[in-house]
Amino acid sequence: MKVMSQQEPVRILVACGTAIATATYVAEKVRKILDKYKIRGEVYQAKAQEVNYFIKMLGRVHLILATTFVPVEDKSIPVLNAMPFLTGIGEDVLEKKIVSILAAKK
């Protein structure tokens, strides 16, 4: 996959039930992907119930990764299941999806 570069950093929101352990682990995985592909980005963690608040607060979110159901009001924001980062099954597929989505949002 090719390396991306862009002016505006992408904003990624990681959501789980409590925004503590699981979201922290997934957020770290996402930061490593951003570094690997030289994608300028910001990763935020939120409780699933706070996702819409974070979207409004940040102004623009390019991608949401969630370990649980998130009731996203803005249907234009892609939401990916982050469970492969926790189980290790399908991690490479999820990584490719993330990079593909972010490349399209560039």
Flag whether 3 is in a domain: no
Residue whose token pair is 């974070």: 54
What element of type H or E holds 42? Answer: strand 41-47
In a domain, 2, yes or no: no
Active site residues: 16
Q: Which amino acid appears at position 12 of this protein?
A: I
CA distance 1 to 36: 11
Asked, for residue 1, whether it belongs to a domain, the answer is no
Residue that has been written with the tokens 């234009």 in this structure: 76
By residue range, what is the domain housing residue 86? Answer: 10-105
What's the domain count of the chain? 1
Q: Does 100 have pLDDT greater than 50? A: yes
Helix (H, G, I), strand (E, B) or coil at 72: coil
CA atoms within 13 A on the CB side of 85: 26
Quick check: 98 pLDDT over 70?
yes
Least confident of 17-21, 76-80, 97-101: 17-21
List the CATH number of the domain containing 24.
3.40.50.2300
95 located within any domain: yes
Residue-level pLDDT at 1: 46
42-95 per-position pLDDT tens digit: 999 999 999 999 999 999 999 999 999 999 999 999 999 999 999 999 999 999
Q: Does 52 fall in a domain?
A: yes
With left for phi above 0 and alpha for psi between -120 and 50, is residue 57 left, alpha or beta?
A: alpha
Cβ-based neighbours of 70, under 8 Å, separated by 6 or more? 15, 48, 51, 64, 79
Report yes or no on 80 lying in a domain: yes
Residue 71 lies in a domain: yes
Domain-located, residue 5 = no
Query: In the structure encoding, which two tokens stand for residue 25, read together?
Result: 């682990």
Is the full-model pTM beyond 0.75?
yes
